[in-house]
């Protein structure tokens, strides 16, 4: 089990106390393991990074490391269409910071409660995580949250089956 913040979690089942509420760090993929782009990169560099990692959306950070937003394949395609950037030479000259983004993923502070992170993950493929200075420190993926929930569900089902067999 990874880190917890120590606050008890009450279950709706018979008022029993399960374990402690998890900390966001339980799910964090650290910045060192995340494909992200910096605002001073070019359109071409961004396209190549997204293609190499096969991602459709990546976090964008400022040169000082603070979270800026997210850039998607759609943002890139619309920029190429609307700005008539049709060759790689032009893409090398186009700063990614000038590309209009449709929607930025909302970041969670590292101290955010997991309910808030889960709510964000319902509408975002990943949740960018920032510290108190808005420095990008990593992401929490929807996949990691779903895997955790699936494991917990299976554990509850196994426990339930064991209790039913003992009757």
| pLDDT for 162 | 80
| pLDDT for 60 | 97
Tens digit of each residue's pLDDT (9 = 90 or more) over 46-76: 999 999 999 999 999 999 999 999 999 999 9
CA distances from 6 to 20, 22, 105, 121, 158 (A): 5, 8, 29, 23, 26
Percent of the chain at pLDDT exceeding 70? 84
Calpha distance 165→167 (Å, rounded): 6
Calpha distance 71→98 (Å, rounded): 11
Residue 30's CB is within 10 A of a number of other CB atoms, namely 11
| pLDDT for 84 | 65
Tens digit of each residue's pLDDT (9 = 90 or more) over 72-120: 999 998 888 887 666 777 778 888 888 889 999 999 999 998 888 999 9
Calpha distance 121→150 (Å, rounded): 15
Calpha distance 47→132 (Å, rounded): 30
pLDDT of residue 16 exceeding 90: no
| pLDDT for 85 | 67
């Amino acid at each position: 089990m990874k880190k917890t913040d120590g606050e008890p979690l009450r279950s709706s089942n018979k008022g029993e106390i399960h374990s402690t509420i998890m900390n966001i760090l339980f799910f964090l993929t650290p910045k060192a393991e995340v494909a992200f782009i910096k605002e001073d990169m070019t359109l071409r560099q961004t396209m190549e990074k997204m293609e190499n990692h096969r991602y459709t959306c990546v976090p964008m950070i400022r040169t000082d490391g603070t979270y800026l937003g997210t850039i998607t394949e759609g943002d890139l395609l619309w920029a190429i269409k609307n700005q008539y950037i049709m060759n790689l030479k032009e893409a090398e000259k186009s700063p990614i910071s000038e590309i209009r983004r449709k929607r930025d993923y909302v970041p969670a502070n590292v101290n955010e409660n997991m309910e808030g992170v889960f709510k964000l993950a319902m509408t975002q493929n990943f949740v960018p995580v920032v510290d108190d200075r808005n420095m990008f420190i990593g992401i929490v993926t929807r996949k990691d949250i779903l895997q955790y929930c699936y494991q917990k569900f299976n554990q509850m089902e196994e426990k339930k089956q064991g209790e039913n067999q003992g009757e």
